[in-house]
Amino acid sequence: MFDRVIVVDWSAANMPTSPTNRANAVWIGCHDAEGGAEWHHRTRAAAEAQLVTLIDTALSTGMRLLIGCDFAMGYPEGFAARLTGEARAEAVWAWLSSAITDGPENRNNRFEVAARINAGFPEGPGPFWSHPTGQHHPGLPYRRVGIDYAVLGLAETRAAETAARGAKSPWMLFNPGSVGSQSLLGLPMIHRLSQLPGVAVWPFSAPVGPVVLAEVYPSLLAAPVAILANAEGLPADQAQVRLLSRALFRLARTHRLAPLFDAPPEAAEEGWILGAQHAPLLAEALTWE
């Protein structure tokens, strides 16, 4: 049972997003017994500050809080050990928290860090790929062509991407639908939040205690999101954090959330998308009063 559900649509913007065109902002959606609300932030730093405040509020009031973040919280099996010497996603978060610089105005070095990681795979082009047209990042291919994941000893996708139709590989850093940049810039935050008292990150820890963080994929509700966005003229990101937080809260309120926390063994290292195989149940929850 959770008293409040938060869903975060992260952003990999390289500067503060537009104050009027909010399509690429960080969106935070909230749902609880009082109803729902959404907030947008032009920078990741501002969004993280609000999340810390929401966690502090939960801890001080005895409220159980579920926070879902829309980016990969792990990488295909074998990557963590190759990068850090430990087969643990938490070790990757800590490594990235030291390597990534992400300033208050969203300026960051994610492509340089990806190229640095790729350089650690001398057997061939490393796993990360894609960057904006016109940029040049030595060691970071523009296209997927030429990367042999079998030679690298890695899979191109996680089991979670197979389970959630349409989800992209975390190795892909740019172009529509990509999540790789959001992950590189989001995992340092997950590392910091995981150090707060009372915070567990599922499936790497049991989903118990006052605050649980989990990976989500709002596109599991693509059809209702499109309908709402079109009907109310909302940015798709705002519509999807509204609907997914609402669906998850309704499942929690009716004690039907537990099946979404089932995950296969490989999730212990790779992570898992909350509700990856339960899209129909999430959509059904939106029809409940």
Residue 159 has pLDDT above 90, yes or no: yes
- In this structure, is residue 140 part of a structural domain? no
Residue 227 is part of a domain; what is its CATH number? 3.30.420
- In this structure, is residue 120 part of a structural domain? no
- In this structure, is residue 272 part of a structural domain? yes
- In this structure, is residue 162 part of a structural domain? no
52 backbone φψ class: left, alpha, beta (φ>0; ψ -120 to 50): alpha
- In this structure, is residue 11 part of a structural domain? yes
Closest by alpha carbon to 207, among 67, 106, 109?
67
| The pLDDT of residue 21 | 82
Band of pLDDT at residue 20, cut at 50, 70 and 90:
confident
- In this structure, is residue 215 part of a structural domain? yes
What total of structural domains would you count in the chain? 1
- In this structure, is residue 161 part of a structural domain? no
Closest by alpha carbon to 248, among 214, 285, 201?
285
Q: Which amino acid is at 132?
A: P
- In this structure, is residue 279 part of a structural domain? yes
Cα separation, 89 vs 87, whole angstroms: 7
Band of pLDDT at residue 24, cut at 50, 70 and 90:
confident
Band of pLDDT at residue 289, cut at 50, 70 and 90:
confident
Percent of the chain with pLDDT over 90: 96
Q: Which amino acid is at 179?
A: V
pLDDT tens digits, 165-221: 899 999 999 998 899 999 999 999 999 999 999 999 999 999 999 999 999 999 999
Q: Which amino acid is at 128?
A: F
Cα separation, 124 vs 110, whole angstroms: 21
| The pLDDT of residue 220 | 97
Cα separation, 240 vs 23, whole angstroms: 12
Mean pLDDT of the chain: 96
The answer to whether 201 and 263 have CB atoms below 8 angstroms apart is no
| The pLDDT of residue 174 | 96
Measured CA distances, 85 to 89, 135, 201 (Å):
11, 31, 21
Token pair, residue 170, equals 């975390």
φ and ψ of 31, to 5 deg: -145, 135
End-to-end CA distance of the chain: 18
The answer to whether 89 and 266 have CB atoms below 8 angstroms apart is no
The residue segments making up the domain with residue 65 are: 4-72+183-285
Cα separation, 102 vs 99, whole angstroms: 10
The answer to whether 126 and 148 have CB atoms below 8 angstroms apart is no
Cα separation, 60 vs 288, whole angstroms: 31
Angle between helices 110-118 and 89-99 (to 10 degrees): 120
Cα separation, 216 vs 200, whole angstroms: 15
pLDDT tens digits, 86-103: 999 999 999 999 999 999
Token pair, residue 284, equals 């059904």
Q: Which amino acid is at 178?
A: S
Percent of the chain with pLDDT over 70: 100
Closest by alpha carbon to 272, among 162, 160, 164, 179?
160
